[in-house]
Structure 1
Amino acid sequence: MGLLIVGFVLLFIITTLPQLWSRHILNKYRVPHSDIPGTGLQFGAHLIKKFGLHGVRLEETNQGDHYDPIEKVVRISQANAHSNSLTAITTVAHEIGHALQDQQHYPPLKQRTLLVERAAIMQKFAGVALMVTPILIPLLHTPMIGLVTFAAGFIAMGVPVIIHLNTLPVEFDASFNRALPLLKEGNYLDAKDQKTAKRILLACALTYVAASLSSLFNLWKWLKALKR
């Protein structure tokens, strides 16, 4: 029992603290920056033109910053779209990093996109199966119902783990192999601000690590419950 409590405490620390730290870092550097001449949207448009990202569009959104590889859209949150803060500029550089991955046919991004598309279908199947099987169990006395229930549960708990683990290399590459070199080689930030940008990207990267660990823990709890 004591070991289980320690495990929950460690999980809380590993999964919650990175999110709190990321939120703190992003808010800390969300203030206007006197040496940055343009907003997040303007910077994004400049980078799209500079790197020849033909077919890639920019959109302002209230759904959070992200790149949509299916629609070929870099979506920038309202907080970053009209700001010239370090948080805004670094975030846009990261999302443009994803667009560069797409342009260069970066395999992990292609794999994650395909996985997410298939996962949506699989999750629907799992949801329907988990709702229907309790009704079918008393009506159909067959081991197949149990197998369907297990498969549905595994999809519901296991697919997020696979997606999160596939997300890690994609996000780290967009941040540290593309966004940071982009900011440095383009002389968009001085040496001090480059260090801050790296800190911002690291804080965000750790939230992906925390999400992966959390999904792994949920899968472990589900598998452990099945053994009882």
Structure 2
Amino acid sequence: MYFGYYDPTFVFLIPALLLTFYAQTKIQATFSRYLKVRSLRGLTGAEAARIILDRNGLYDVPIIVIPGRLTDHYDPSQRVLRLSEDVYYGNSIASIGVAAHEAGHAIQHQVGYTPLIVRNSLVPVANIGSNLSWILILLGLFIGAMGLARLGVLLFTAVVLFQIVTLPVEFNASSRALVELDANGILFDDEIRGARKVLNAAALTYVAATLMAISQLLRLLFITRDRD
């Protein structure tokens, strides 16, 4: 049985697991480090995001505070920028960098950035794939219905595609953020380098998630092929 203690396909996941652990450690350490470094202008994350949004004609996009740490995100369905308390109220380089990144997503939405449109279109099927794929795979393997298992693998492919498309969306949002921080004088040279380190560390978590999804898909393909 492949899903037991001696599952030989688990080796597919080892590189992704190691990268995930490193990425999570890196983002926590980098964010915590630059969360303690106050920006020279003293702007908060919310103020920095407001400047960027307004300079790009996004006056009607509200910025609200939400609980949690690194829970920041832009909601394209409601056109709302949601920032965690550390980012919303904080005047650190980390706070401003993360806020600018999320504002970058709002700009992507405004200009119709193609990878963002593709990613948003994949959300429904990716959610279905994430919730249903493993049920179908495990059930198919358990009762020997390989057609059902392969359907689960197909649904999981949508999750992988979503993760792959997410990469250019996140990298582009960070690039836009750094340009805006410089062009609007929100951060200065040394501070922008610090913000870049924070955003690069955050980007690594998306790379790790993508590698994990691809590794899991390869593992599932190997399992279903072998059972045939």
TM tier relative to shorter chain: 0.7 to 0.9
1:173 aligns with 2:172: yes
Letter in structure 2 aligned against 1:80: V
SS in 2 for 1:38: coil
| Runs of at least 5 residues in structure 2 that lack an aligned partner in the other structure | 1-5
Distance in structure 1 (CA, Å) of the matches to 2:112 and 2:13? 40
**Corresponding residue for residue 148 of structure 1:** 148
Matched, 1:107 2:105: no
Provide structure 1 residue ranges, at least 5 long, that are not aligned to the other structure: 139-144
Percent identity (aligned): 30
Structure 2 residue 147 is matched with structure 1 residue 184: no
2:126 to 119, 141, 151: 119
The letter for the 2-side match of 1:162 is L
Q: Give me the CA root mean square deviation.
A: 2.8
Matched, 1:29 2:29: no
SS at match of 1:29: helix
Change (3 A) 1:16 1:38: same
TM-score where L is the length of structure 2: 0.84
Q: Supply the AA of the counterpart residue of 1:148.
A: L
Aligned to 1:73: 80
Asked if structure 2 preserves the Cα contact closer than 8 Å seen for 1:32 and 1:83, the reply is no
Q: CA deviation at 1:130?
A: 5.8
What residue in structure 2 maps to residue 40 of structure 1?
45
Q: Write the deviation string for residues 102-133 of structure 1: whole angstroms up to 9, x where unpaired.
A: 11011110110111133234555547756876
Residues in 1 aligned to 2:128 and 2:12: alpha-carbon distance in whole angstroms: 33
2:94 paired residue number: 87
User: Is the contact between residue 36 and residue 85 of structure 1 (CA under 8 Å) also seen in structure 2?
Assistant: no
How far 1:198 sits from its partner (Å)?
A: 1.1
Q: Aligned partner of 1:57: which letter? A: P
Q: Please give the alpha-carbon distance, in whole angstroms, between the structure 1 residues aligned to 2:195 and 2:189.
A: 10
| Residues matched between the structures, number | 218
Q: Distance in 1 between matches of 2:194 and 2:139?
A: 52
Describe the SS at the equivalent of 1:55.
coil
